[in-house]
Amino acid sequence: MRTLITLSVLQTIGIAVLVVHALREEPHAVSDVRPAQSPASAPAPVEAPRIDEARLRAILREELAQEHNRPVAESLPAAPSPAPPHNPSAAELQQRDLVAQQIEAYRAVGMITDAQMQELQADIAKLDAVSRKQMLSKLTRALNTGDIKGRL
């Protein structure tokens, strides 16, 4: 345990020494370069940051270009694929049309009995999900407009 603590302390001290050293070295590096250049050819004090900025811009451009060229599936997080749209079969469409005709027939009569309503709902239940929603809506609208008198 003691050994571990000692090692940890030594490690911390080592890191601290390195940080201090790095901080001291940085200004020296800049000052070392400057005297080597003649005053005439020496770049203006703001030149160095400009170079960095240009380099940064170039890196950014490269990164953006890479991102742009990357396939969409690779760059986007995997989203759950939506369920493929269900195309009603010919039989399903025929069934839906039959129910629609029944509703129109009740509309022509102007009313529907409770027993007829139950039968109609049973027929609607056999439809595919999209058609079922359509036919329930058609029936409900006919009731709301008063075209068909009856109860659900």
Partner 1 sequence: MQMKPTRMKQGLAIAVLALASSAALAGLVQDQPVIVTLNADGSGSANGSMTTARFSKNDVEFIGCGVRRIDDGAGGVILFAFCQAADAVNVQGFCTTDNPNLIASIDGQDDFSFITFSWNAAGECRSIGNSTQSFYIPKK
132 within 8 A of 124, measured Cβ to Cβ? yes
**Residue 57 in the binding site for partner 1 (CB under 8 A):** no
**Residue 101 in the binding site for partner 1 (CB under 8 A):** no
Distance (Å, rounded) from C-alpha 99 to C-alpha 122? Answer: 10
**Residue 107 in the binding site for partner 1 (CB under 8 A):** no
Q: What is the CA radius of gyration of the chain?
A: 39
Distance (Å, rounded) from C-alpha 55 to C-alpha 62? Answer: 11
**Residue 152 in the binding site for partner 1 (CB under 8 A):** yes
Residue numbers 112-151 binding partner 1 by CB under 8 A: 121-122, 125-126, 132-133, 136-137, 139-141, 143-146, 149, 151
**Residue 24 in the binding site for partner 1 (CB under 8 A):** no
**Residue 38 in the binding site for partner 1 (CB under 8 A):** no
By beta-carbon proximity to partner 1, the closer residue of 79 and 129 is: 129
By beta-carbon proximity to partner 1, the closer residue of 63 and 119 is: 119
What is the DSSP annotation of 54-106?
HHHHHHHHHHHHHHHHS-HHHHSPPPPPPPPPP---HHHHHHHHHHHHHHHHH
* Contact set with partner 1 (CB under 8 A): 121-122, 125-126, 132-133, 136-137, 139-141, 143-146, 149, 151-152
